Amino acid sequence: MKREHGTIQSYITGFALSVVFTLIPYFLVVTQAVKGIVLFGTILAFALAQALIQVLFFLHLGRERKPKWQSGFLLATAGGIFVVTVGTFWIMYHLHENMMPTQAELKLAQDEGIAQVDGQKTGACVGASQMHMVVIKNGVASPSHTDAKRCDTIMFMNEDNTSRDIAFGPHSNHQEYGGVDDVPLSGGQSQTLTLNQSGTQSFHDHLHPEMTGDFTASP
């Protein structure tokens, strides 16, 4: 049993090391000697090292007699903590990435038809609607002008091999159309846009701005 308890010396060593391992990350953060992810990784490493120091010098773990139930239980808990913290962070990070406000708005605007334009709700598009096609081939959109009714849809078909990004308004000054910022199209892909906002709207390919066109949605 005796060897499980610390000596004065072990407490002093543990205390001195802990103070050093507290001050180094503190001054790294205050002086901003390193930045960003490197800084965070460094201070986290110092925290883990200090926790290990205190487990060894203050809790005197590893000196118990066999079977080492305490060390075993600590390791099992560490495994549980790893799964809980890393798992939570991993899942929530991806959930966060995939539910960015802009993407949530785009989903509302297109699937639910309830985008806001200038603070006014555009209203849901329900019932019969017509689908128009705009085919982009050899860098030209045809037809270059589409006449449609509000709540009709336009399917943009990219028949070229290059990626396109349909943006609204002139290239120099992008606009938003019915809650949608842009319609990305990889080579050979097609995407459907619901015309949930009345009026005439020009568009262009942000990646190849010479490709332009427009459409009019009458109320």
Residues engaged in binding other proteins (CB under 8 A): 1, 5-8, 11-12, 14-15, 18-19, 22, 25-26, 29-30, 32, 35-36, 39-40, 43-44, 46-47, 50-51, 54-55, 58-59, 69-70, 73-74, 76-77, 80-81, 84-85, 88-89, 92-93, 96
Structure tokens at 8: 């004065």
Question: Which residue lies nearer to other proteins by CB, 39 or 148?
Answer: 39
CB of 27 to other proteins, least distance (A): 10
Question: Which residue lies nearer to other proteins by CB, 1 or 128?
Answer: 1
CB of 105 to other proteins, least distance (A): 18
CB of 98 to other proteins, least distance (A): 14
Question: Which residue lies nearer to other proteins by CB, 104 or 131?
Answer: 104
Question: Which residue lies nearer to other proteins by CB, 27 or 130?
Answer: 27
Question: Which residue lies nearer to other proteins by CB, 23 or 133?
Answer: 23
Q: For the range 154-158, what are the long-range contacts, defined as Cβ-Cβ under 8 Å and sequence gap of 24 or more? A: 154/192, 154/193, 154/195, 154/215, 155/131, 155/190, 155/191, 155/192, 155/193, 156/183, 156/185, 156/190, 156/191, 156/192, 156/193, 157/133, 157/190, 158/185, 158/186, 158/187, 158/188, 158/189, 158/190
| Among 138, 149, 141, 147, residue whose Cα is nearest residue 167 | 141
| Among 3, 5, 19, 99, residue whose Cα is nearest residue 58 | 5
CB of 58 to other proteins, least distance (A): 4
CB of 78 to other proteins, least distance (A): 9
CB of 107 to other proteins, least distance (A): 20
How far CA 161 is from CA of 88, 133, 156, 184, 188, in Å, comes to: 40, 18, 14, 14, 6
Question: Which residue lies nearer to other proteins by CB, 74 or 135?
Answer: 74
Which residues, in sequence order, are CB contacts of 29 under 8 Å at separation 6+?
39, 43
